Amino acid sequence: MAHIDYYTFPLSPFAYLAGDRLEKLAAAHGATITYKPFALMTIFEETGTPPPPKRHPSLMVYRTQELKRISKKMGMKLNLQPAHWPTNPAPACNAIIAAQNAGGGNVGGLVQSLLKACWAEEQDISQADVVKACLTANGFDAALADADAEACAAEFAANTEQASQSGVFGTPTYIVGEEVFFGQDRIDYLDDYLKG
């Protein structure tokens, strides 16, 4: 059985636009997924990638064009300038980590709900009420939003270190063994790889 490590960040529009395609692919192949929220800005610093506000204007124009194209193709609502972006990602990351460790709900759905809250619903995912609503909507106890922040932070740091060691340079990134698939537009390549 294949296993996929999914390096995600709850403020990434490209992770949002991946939708539930990874989960559908995993189900089709009988693969398992570990969701790994990580410090994207730390990885950007390590790899020499400027964060969006510091990128060359031509790159930002292209980014906007790509986001429009992808959202249209996927039929997904997207606000290119969300009211609460950037914001503190820690509460959302902690909730994903705590929910995955607790089990009993839909982790993929939780990740997608948090991304959608930011990029399509004008909600602030740094706020406890937003995180709790996403947890309960996906079958988890809302109290997981108040999970041990120190333990979650340690796992978040470990995810970031693993991302660095595994060649991750952005999100969404999917890793199977030594194979790295970067970007929501590489899910088809991941599908091909799992088919053998």
Tens of pLDDT along the chain (196 residues) come to: 899 999 999 999 999 999 999 999 999 999 999 999 999 999 999 999 999 989 999 999 999 999 999 999 999 999 999 999 999 999 999 999 999 999 999 999 999 999 999 999 999 999 999 999 999 999 999 999 999 999 999 999 999 999 999 999 999 999 999 999 999 999 999 999 999 9
Residue type, 163: A
The amino acid present at 98, given as its one-letter code, is A
CA–CA separation, 88 and 111 (whole Å): 16
* Pick from 95, 83, 165: nearest CA to 173: 165
Q: Answer for the pair 108, 35: CB distance below 8 angstroms, yes or no.
A: yes
Q: How far is it, in rounded angstroms, from Cα 187 to Cα 181?
A: 7
DSSP 171-189: SSEEEETTEEEESGGGHHH
Of residues 11, 10, 14, the one with CA closest to residue 185: 14
What Cα–Cα distance (Å) separates residue 142 from each residue in 103, 105, 135, 162, 195? 13, 11, 6, 28, 38
Task: Say whether 99 sits in a helix, a strand or coil.
Answer: helix
The predicted structure's pLDDT at residue 4: 98
Helix (H, G, I), strand (E, B) or coil at 143: helix
Angle of helix 21-29 relative to helix 187-195, nearest 10 degrees?
A: 0
pLDDT at 49: 95
What are the helix (H) ranges across the chain? 13-17, 21-29, 40-47, 57-74, 90-102, 107-119, 128-137, 149-165, 187-195
